[in-house]
Amino acid sequence: MKKYILICLLSTFFSQSTFSDSFTYNSYNNHGVIGLINMPTARFYNESSYGVILYHGDPDQKITLTSSPYDWLEASFFYANIKDKPYCKVFSDPVCAQDYKDKGFNFKIKLKDEGKLPALAIGINDIAGTGLYGSEYIVASYGIKNIDFHFGLGWGKLNGSDFSFENPFGKISKEFFNRPPEIDGGGQFEASRYFSGEKASPFFGISYAPNDRYLIKFEHDSTLTPGQIGYELPAQSYSFGIDFNLTKNFTIGISNERGNSTTVRFSYKNNPKVSKPRYIYKQPKHNDDDTEYVKFIRNLNQNGIGVDRILETSDQIGIQLSQFVHPNLDIIDEIIRKATYDAGLKKPIKKDIRIVDLKAKTEYSTSFEKNAKLIYQRQAKKKFKTKTNLALRPFLASREEFFKGALMLENNTEYSILDNFFFSSNLKYSLIDNFDDLKYPPVDTYPAQVRSDVKDYLKNFDNGLFIGRAQLDYHLSPRENHHIMLSAGILEEMFNGAGFEYLYFKQESNYAIGIEIFDVQKRDYEMRFGTLDYRNTTGHINFYYRNYNYLPFDAKISYGEYLAGDEGITIDLSRSFPNGTKFGIFASFTDVSSDQYGEGGFDKGIYFNVPVFGNLINYSWRPLTKDPGAKLIRKNSLHDLLVKFRPIN
């Protein structure tokens, strides 16, 4: 009997836990990291997941945007307000009469999944910021049924435990015992800071889920107090809290931190791979006398695919497509297969997918077109498409206030003059915003002011309807694998202009190369039809690479002249998903020196697009808005159009 009980206990201990990377039974902590209250855990969400976390504590408040580009990587950036900490040291400067603002990046990497041994992860908070939240950790997690156990070791701002001991990395090198001070101004990487210091602190915690609505958290909180942030000295070394799942996506958390502070956290999280259902084929009604091809065309139209041409030979059928609503080639193939079977067609189907008459993916040759019989030709029609939705326009890191933003109505309209000739516009109207009191000018405007005057544009958002874009685009593929786009008009909020892009894009290849050249003039701050004096010709050579192997990613490397006249290179790395979610990072290095650039040293940032609420979350964020490294914000690039229906990496 005792032996049987022992076997049952061991099997329970080593069984698959309820918590193991569960989307339901894990939540973000105060710093936007999947964890407990302040402490991280070794839990992760599925790739393509993302979250928005709002934290209100004392003395700091935070907005954090978190993404999971891979199952093993969690990355986030935060923007914090710290009460009663001076914004700057020159007290005669009116900008200093406010609370301190801080920003930075966090990341966490999975080292192993949970099995017989715990899951293991390593992470760094505030990796390239001021270091006010700078901390590093190694953490393990193990779940038994609805209880999850966590144990870790913290450095930096996670090194405030009474149980701290000598830094174990000091046995590797004595340099690990020396932790450099925080960086004045931030924006720089300093590898010598990471996992360093005379001591390291253990932390541990438990999370318990009585059901899928509640998550109870308890932790030994090793946060360094008071530190430069100014936390109160702890009344105890433990924190506890409860998270309540309002829905599967929205969570509210209430915590008592270290016995002297009650805090609130609001989180939105989404796992698009789970939340977006698979497309369901729609079965149209047919007449008894309909031909096979009439049925085939109707089947495709009913399921969001427009047919331009149908060609037939003795052994196969070719269809040319250019109108579809599906962003996934797998869905298009599935619909065509079902539509073919339902129509009674016996011959194999070959596709020629066109995007604005550019050949995106062709499965039959020009000789097939010459020898085939034309079965169907769609009559060219001028088409008008328009869509209006809500859009959120945040402006973070202003020197005036913690958060500036606008909730807008945004209208996007497209009129197709020809199959490859379009007029498109973007109109905006601010419903509510708080941009009126933006008043502090930028510190650095070298070599020319092209982006740092963004506040002058934002202040006019409440002056009625304004134009975000109004342009003409002409596309053509004069030869196989060679593509051209000509554009002219109001190209973005800050610039008018005209120019062209050329791209060499081989259909089955994972690389492409091209050039773009635009003559641009700066728009005035009313954002209608007026212009300012500044004008320049900007151009870049672009190289694109898509990796489909173990570490899938998209890379774009550009070299050329930027809007402000500086020259250099931009490196952009991103990850895309079939549901339209995209996460990316970028950095630009130009002939503007670090001293000339000012705080931050060089242009860098992250961006993400998640298709929810009419693309409400579509944002590119830089730690600072500077002029060097600034590029034209174009509606489309040829590469973006042509890879739209390629297999997603």
CATH code for the domain in which residue 180 is found: 2.40.160.40
Listed range (253-257, 272-276, 526-530) with the worst mean pLDDT: 272-276
Residue 254 sits in the same domain as residue 340: no
Residue 276 pLDDT: 57
Residue 646 pLDDT: 66
* Pairwise pLDDT comparison (24 vs 89), residue with the higher score: 24
Residue 323 pLDDT: 66
Residue 236 pLDDT: 94
Segment 571-593 shows an average pLDDT of 88
Residue 390 pLDDT: 87
Q: What is the 3-state secondary structure (H, E, C) of 449-486?
A: CCCCCHHHHHCCCCCCCEEEEEEEEEEEEEECCEEEEE
Residue 20 pLDDT: 79
Query: Percent of the chain having pLDDT more than 90?
Result: 59
* Pairwise pLDDT comparison (394 vs 632), residue with the higher score: 632
* pLDDT tens-digit readout, 378-390: 886 668 889 998 8
Structure tokens at 69: 């580009």
Residue 208 sits in the same domain as residue 348: no
Residue 443 pLDDT: 79
Highest mean pLDDT among 308-312, 475-479, 528-532: 528-532
Segment 190-206 shows an average pLDDT of 91
Residue 527 sits in the same domain as residue 548: yes
Banded pLDDT at 3 (limits 50, 70, 90): very low
Domain ends where: 249, 266, 283?
266
* 9 assigned to some structural domain: no
Residue 607 pLDDT: 82
Domain ends where: 361, 377, 393?
377
Tell me which H or E stretch contains 341. Answer: helix 329-343
Neighbouring residues of 352: CB distance < 8 A, sequence distance ≥ 6: 309, 318, 319, 320, 321, 359, 361, 362, 363, 364
Residue 617 pLDDT: 54
Task: State how far the Cα of 461 lies from the Cα of 20, in Å rounded to an integer.
Answer: 46
Reference 135, options 211, 30, 236, 238; nearest CA is 30
Residue 440 has pLDDT above 50, yes or no: yes
Residue 354 sits in the same domain as residue 403: no
Banded pLDDT at 157 (limits 50, 70, 90): very high
Contact 336, 326 (CB under 8 A): no
Residue 335 sits in the same domain as residue 349: yes
Residue 376 pLDDT: 92
β-pair type (261-270, 305-312)? unpaired
Identify the residue whose tokens are 């290179």: 569
Identify the residue whose tokens are 């695919």: 305
Reference 9, options 150, 210, 145; nearest CA is 145
3-state secondary structure (DSSP) of residue 597: helix
Residue 180 pLDDT: 83
Residue 123 sits in the same domain as residue 102: yes
Residue 239 has pLDDT above 80, yes or no: yes
* 29 assigned to some structural domain: yes
Residues spanned by the domain of 301: 292-377
Task: State how far the Cα of 254 lies from the Cα of 267, in Å rounded to an integer.
Answer: 12
* 12 assigned to some structural domain: no
Residue 561 sits in the same domain as residue 483: yes
* 5 assigned to some structural domain: no
Domain ends where: 266, 283, 302?
266
Region of 620 on the Ramachandran plot (φ > 0 left; ψ -120 to 50 alpha; else beta): beta
Structure tokens at 320: 């040319």
Residue 15 pLDDT: 42
Banded pLDDT at 291 (limits 50, 70, 90): very high
Banded pLDDT at 619 (limits 50, 70, 90): low
Residue 361 sits in the same domain as residue 396: no
* 160 assigned to some structural domain: yes
* pLDDT tens-digit readout, 45-64: 999 899 999 999 999 999 99
What's 332's domain CATH number?
3.30.70
Task: State how far the Cα of 574 lies from the Cα of 576, in Å rounded to an integer.
Answer: 7
Residue 451 sits in the same domain as residue 514: yes
Task: State how far the Cα of 191 lies from the Cα of 432, in Å rounded to an integer.
Answer: 43
Question: Prior bond to 447 cis, omega within 30?
Answer: yes
Listed range (15-19, 456-460, 527-531) with the worst mean pLDDT: 15-19
* 313 assigned to some structural domain: yes
Banded pLDDT at 356 (limits 50, 70, 90): confident
Residue 217 has pLDDT above 50, yes or no: yes
Banded pLDDT at 14 (limits 50, 70, 90): very low
* Reported pTM: 0.82
Listed range (19-28, 101-110, 195-204, 451-460) with the worst mean pLDDT: 19-28
- What is the tally of structural domains in the chain? 3
Residue 346 sits in the same domain as residue 404: no
* 284 assigned to some structural domain: no
Segment 194-223 shows an average pLDDT of 95
Residue 302 sits in the same domain as residue 179: no
* Pairwise pLDDT comparison (334 vs 129), residue with the higher score: 334
Residue 579 pLDDT: 67
Residue 363 sits in the same domain as residue 414: no
Residue 614 has pLDDT above 80, yes or no: no
As a whole number, the mean pLDDT across the chain is 87
Task: State how far the Cα of 192 lies from the Cα of 337, in Å rounded to an integer.
Answer: 57
Contact 402, 99 (CB under 8 A): yes
Residue 574 has pLDDT above 60, yes or no: yes
Task: State how far the Cα of 193 lies from the Cα of 181, in Å rounded to an integer.
Answer: 8
Contact 529, 507 (CB under 8 A): no
* 213 assigned to some structural domain: yes
3-state secondary structure (DSSP) of residue 578: coil
